[in-house]
Structure 1
Amino acid sequence: MRAIWNTRWGGPEVLEVRETPEPELMPGHVRVRVRACGLNFAEVMARQGMYPDAPKPPCVLGYEAAGEVEAVGEGVSGLSVGTRVVALKRFGTHAEVIAVPAQQVLPMPEGMSFEEGAALPVNYITAYHMLFRVGNLRSGERVLVHMAAGGVGLAALQLAKTVPGVVIFGTASASKHDFIRKEGCDHPIDYRSVDYADEVRRLTGGKGVDIVLDALGGKDWKKGYDLLRPVGRLIAFGFANMASGETRSILNMIKQAVSIPLFTPLGMMDKNRSVAGVNIGHLWDEIDLLTEEMAALMDLYKNGSIRPHIDCIVPFDKAADAHRRIQSRQNIGKVVLVP
């Protein structure tokens, strides 16, 4: 089989498609013939050597895939050869064939394409987990979504709109505003031309928001915290500011590290605010939680409440171009890789 290998830390040019032995089928696992797999900002940072959880290169990255069950291991029930499935895996999905524990595989709803299946798990579980389990989003609340045109951003827009009366502010470049409006963003903000914090205050009459979903990091965590209304929640789920180019910059990493704010229990108690962190990659030991949220998302897909938007479909041989597209924040929605 072929797989996309991250041969060393560096720019997109370090990615190579190589012939690789097919994974062994163990008891309790299923082997899946991959038809599409998702690419996330986490993998872009892992390629640069800035994602601590990633295996050291040479390695195959990727958290999610969609395809067909090719073989079923001993002790597996409820899945059969030929079943169209979505799979979650802690790295290794950027390959033509993967082996995955059966509990990390869910049948795809009728009508869902393989590309949509690959676009759903990481982005939508992250957004669902932040809004409903951590953020406890309520009717009538105000939410600020950073990087609103990205994969997690669009998922958050769609999911937030399933709650009546929620008002959404989203940061994105001006060229993406029309699209995110269609996806549910009430107030798009061009972060390149205005200070988004000033704009949120202007639009809310100085009151701020109830939830901030922040994948930027550093000083933006402090700006988001200061925008919170009483009982507001800042949810940090990434550190995009750490990645300043195609390769890692030690100087920028130091600059970003020293800009991380200090939140104290006493300070949060005084302001009636809270700060939470979300890293879906650290929840593999809570697979029942992840599959519960994934099942809820499948139901939302079936009833038409959510629909992944595919930015582009890129063949394995052009994986470097896919990385560059996400790195430069050109994408609107999900970048999907296909063998």
Structure 2
Amino acid sequence: MMEQRNRVVQVSRFGDPERLEVVDAHLPIAGPGEVRVRVLASSLNYTEVLIRRHLYPQTMRLRPPFVMGYDVVGAIDQLGEGVHDFQIGDRVADMTVVGSNAGYRTLRARDVARVPAGVDAAEAAALILSWTTAHQLLHRAARIQRGQRVLVHGAAGAVGQALLVLGRLAGLELWGTVRGEHMALVRELGATPIDYQHQDFTRIVPGGFDVIIDGVGEDGYRRSYAALKPGGLLCAIGFSASVQAQRRMIPILLEIARLYLWRLLPGGKRARFYSVNAMRARHPNWFKDDLEQLFGLLATGAIRPRVAARISFEEVVDAHRRLEAGGLEGKLVLCPDLSRPSQRAA
């Protein structure tokens, strides 16, 4: 009988995509309270650019080598001691932050969400970080109400698209900043597009926006804060502008800290930094409930995340280059069962 291999995507050193390597690792064994899954899909997220460049607060203590992979959809192939709620073959999902760009991995049984039969594994993986983030931003952090005016920065990105789709389902009035070539996409998703290179979003809505969700962080979030109406809320979720400018972590953290000082200014505007990991740590049941709700919407066809490409292990380094360059209109998803690029399904 041929011995099972466990291929993994490993960071050899912090830095450029070339620091990633695909290596063979030991096959993990499910411990007490764990399940082992054969990985069906693990999406590549912009957050992993930050992890690879040592700019992500939640992984600052990690040192290479370690395995990449923020999320996972897999089929259980081994049950650890004390696990009784699952069976071999059940499909489950989890947000792991690292460790899931692999052929096999173990997960804590109490953390995983069930994946409905029949849904596409790559589409399910595309929901885990981006769509759960979007759902929680709207319904947990901002507590949006029907009819509110909401601006989404980076609206063509994975989280941006999810925010527009879920925001439309919630009855919001939506705007999204994008590059000129993505204006049609934003319009198709039910929002008013803003070409940030040629239009001033601070002057679009008289009186200001109720909520602004900013994953770009240009100018230290100042212009987004200025575009709020009195009493409005700025949810910062990232700082891609600082990453592209190759800024270091300390100045970025100072900008995030300043958000919380702005609430002391007159005008009643609010600002906060949202972290899906911090939210999950405080309310672990919310994450599983929200993700399973999204899987239900996927199963019924109410939502459909865009998968830009399904990639093999051999394509991971190039995929990270594409991810870092920006401009993708969908997720890149690692599917370990793809042995070569010609097997990829759009």
TM-score by length of 1: 0.90
| Residue in 2 that maps onto 1:211 | 211
Aligned to 2:198: 193
Q: Secondary structure at the match of 1:26?
A: coil
In the other structure, the counterpart of 1:26 is 31
Are the counterparts in 1 of residues 33 and 80 from structure 2 also a CA contact under 8 Å?
A: yes
> Which stretch shifts more, 67-76 or 256-265?
256-265
Gaps of 5+ in 2: 1-5, 337-346
Matched, 1:65 2:62: no
Q: What CA distance in whole angstroms lies between the structure 2 residues aligned with 1:261 and 1:281?
A: 18
CA positional deviation for 1:24: 2.5
Same amino acid, percent of matched pairs:
33
Residues 1:334 and 2:331 are matched in the alignment: yes
| C-alpha contact 1:62 1:90 (8 A) present in aligned 2 | yes
Task: Provide the C-alpha distance between the structure 2 equivalents of 1:70 and 1:256, rounded to a whole number of angstroms.
Answer: 42
Shift of 1:167: 1.1
Q: Distance in 2 between matches of 1:304 and 1:271?
A: 42
Two-structure CA RMSD over aligned residues (Å): 2.1
Match of 2:160 in 1: 153
Q: 108-117 or 268-277: which moved more?
A: 268-277
AA aligned opposite 1:207: G
Tell me which residue corresponds to 1:14. 19
What are the ranges of 5 or more consecutive residues in structure 1 without an aligned counterpart? none
Matched AA of 1:122: L
Out of 276, 286, 304, the position equivalent to 1:307 is: 304
Is 1:178 the counterpart of 2:184 in the alignment? yes
Segments of 4+ moved more than 4 angstroms = 253-261, 263-269
Distance 1:135 1:276 in 2: 10
2: distance between equivalents of 1:88 and 1:74?
A: 22
Q: Shift in Å at residue 118 of structure 1?
A: 1.1
Deviations 1:249-276 (A, max 9, x none): 55xx677667668356685563122112
| Residues 185-213 of structure 1: CA deviation (Å, up to 9, x unaligned) | 2x11111233332xxx23x2x22211111
Partner of 1:81: 88
Cα deviations by residue, 1:212-243 (Å, 9 ceiling, x for unpaired): 11111252511111111122110011111221
- Count of matched residue pairs: 328
- 1:120: how far off? 0.7
TM-score by length of 2: 0.88
Q: Which residue of 1 aligns with 2:235?
A: 235
The 1:27/1:284 distance shift into structure 2, 3 A limit, reads farther
Secondary structure in structure 1 of the residue aligned to 2:58: coil
| Equivalent position to 1:97, from 97, 104, 110 | 104
